[in-house]
Amino acid sequence: MFSSVLLPMLALASMAAAKQCINTTVPVTISARTGIFNIAVPQTNLDAITFAQNLTQQGRNFTNEALTGYATTSGTYDISTEFCMPDSSNSTMPTVQVLTHGIGFDKTYWDLSYDNFNYSYVDAATEAGYCTLNYDRLGLGNSSHIADSQGTLDELQAFLEIQALAALTMMLRNGTLPGTDGTSFSKVVHVGHSFGSAQTYALVDMYPTISDGIVLTGFSMNSSFTGFFVAGSNFMQANNNQPLRFGNISGTTIETVLSMVSLTDLTAGFDFGSIVPGQNLPNGYLVSSNEEANQYLFLLPGFFDPNILTVAELTKQPVTTGELLTLGSAPMMNNFAGPVLVLTGSNDVPYCGGNCLATGNPSLASIPAAVAMSFPNVGASNFTAYIQPNTAHGINLHYNATGAYDVIQSFLASKGLASS
């Protein structure tokens, strides 16, 4: 049963009807092998396009071409987390789902407040009796950012982020995660989306017993189409694309500029001090260019609320050059032996080229179904590939998102991973 101290603490932390949540900043001390790349960090928007052109050129492995060696990156970083649990529960052995978001999003991908939380995966999971931990990946959102431009290439890479995920997981298992009042979880499952799925995949390969089951959404092992995502993003420097969010512009700066051109009368009474200062991200943090790019990357026309695209554009998150260069660094064969669900939208662009059923092989039901071959230790009864209909890469942003959520909860329950 949950701690008697934890329950009232969570009750004060959230007003959501179906769940109780607490937001906590968790320091992690981690170390990982990172690549040394002999390229310049893009400094302009045109540099970002040149980087994308190099990365997507057919027949060229730009990552291997640029790689000159390896280094060990170590440090203590702050990870912004949201831990949620059911509004009421008599569980004595709760299961926690660790949720890792992909490129273009932060932890709110899993707990969208849009339309009164009707798109919230966390709501669906907690209603099914699970606890959840969703977090901003290292370098993004409210987690620690990389302060210098070179660090976007040398420091913020996939395997450093995987070590942060491993550290959070072990805290959940041994009862030391801040905000959970010493609750230890004997059952931990990992759910990822896109790059978050790739990190989940790599995590359980490196530490095969760290998870009791994994769900890889927006995912396949086919890397043929990742160039579509990079090219379709039409990357720009984040601090240039949305300077109020990602640059160093403050309310005071805006007020000063307006006063210089005699426009302060138009904003009389406005509190410029209320404007949240920008994140002051360095060059090398790249972001998709506009709403049109976001639709191409994540959404299937006719099957999403147009207003949710506006929300996605206003809340989009960047990616670093180091992350893009280490996207495909996971091994083809995985050591994990537990239950695996791969759930991908029928029209996913980066992992299926826009059609997950076009395999070119009559014996292969879908492109994501081929992931089974990467898990030699997982029996057929423990592997499922599910294609979510009328859905593109951003599964949680489509009208039928809750149908995908139900598939996930049912799969986990069928493998004995539900809270008990």
Q: Average pLDDT for residues 283-301, to the nearest whole number? A: 98
Computed over every residue of the chain, the mean pLDDT equals: 92
- How do residues 197-214 score in pLDDT, each as one tens digit? 999 999 999 999 999 999
Burial 138-153 (b: 16+ CB within 10 A, else e): bbbbbbbbbeebebbb
Q: How many CB atoms lie within 10 A of CB 387?
A: 20
> Does the pLDDT value for residue 272 go beyond 70?
no
Could you give the percent of the chain with pLDDT greater than 70? 90
> Does the pLDDT value for residue 18 go beyond 80?
no
Q: Average pLDDT for residues 367-377, to the nearest whole number? A: 98
Give 36's strand partners: 69
Please name which of 81, 117, 72, 116 lies closest in space to residue 99, comparing C-alpha atoms: 81
Please name which of 157, 143, 319, 314 lies closest in space to residue 238, comparing C-alpha atoms: 319
Please name which of 298, 276, 281 lies closest in space to residue 350, comparing C-alpha atoms: 298
How does residue 331 score in pLDDT terms, banded at 50, 70 and 90? very high
Q: Identity (one letter) of the amino acid at 326?
A: T
Largest distance between two CA atoms of the chain: 71
Quote the radius of gyration of the chain (alpha carbons, Å): 21
- How do residues 149-195 score in pLDDT, each as one tens digit? 999 999 999 999 999 999 999 999 999 999 898 999 999 999 999 99
Structure tokens at 388: 């979510």
Q: For residues 138 and 326, give the distance between their C-alpha atoms in angstroms, rounded to a whole number.
A: 15
Q: For residues 103 and 211, give the distance between their C-alpha atoms in angstroms, rounded to a whole number.
A: 23
How does residue 10 score in pLDDT terms, banded at 50, 70 and 90? very low
Q: Average pLDDT for residues 217-237, to the nearest whole number? A: 97
Whether the model clears a pTM of 0.85, i.e. scores above it, the answer is yes
> Does the pLDDT value for residue 44 go beyond 60?
yes
Give 133's strand partners: 83, 98
Q: For residues 311 and 240, give the distance between their C-alpha atoms in angstroms, rounded to a whole number.
A: 19
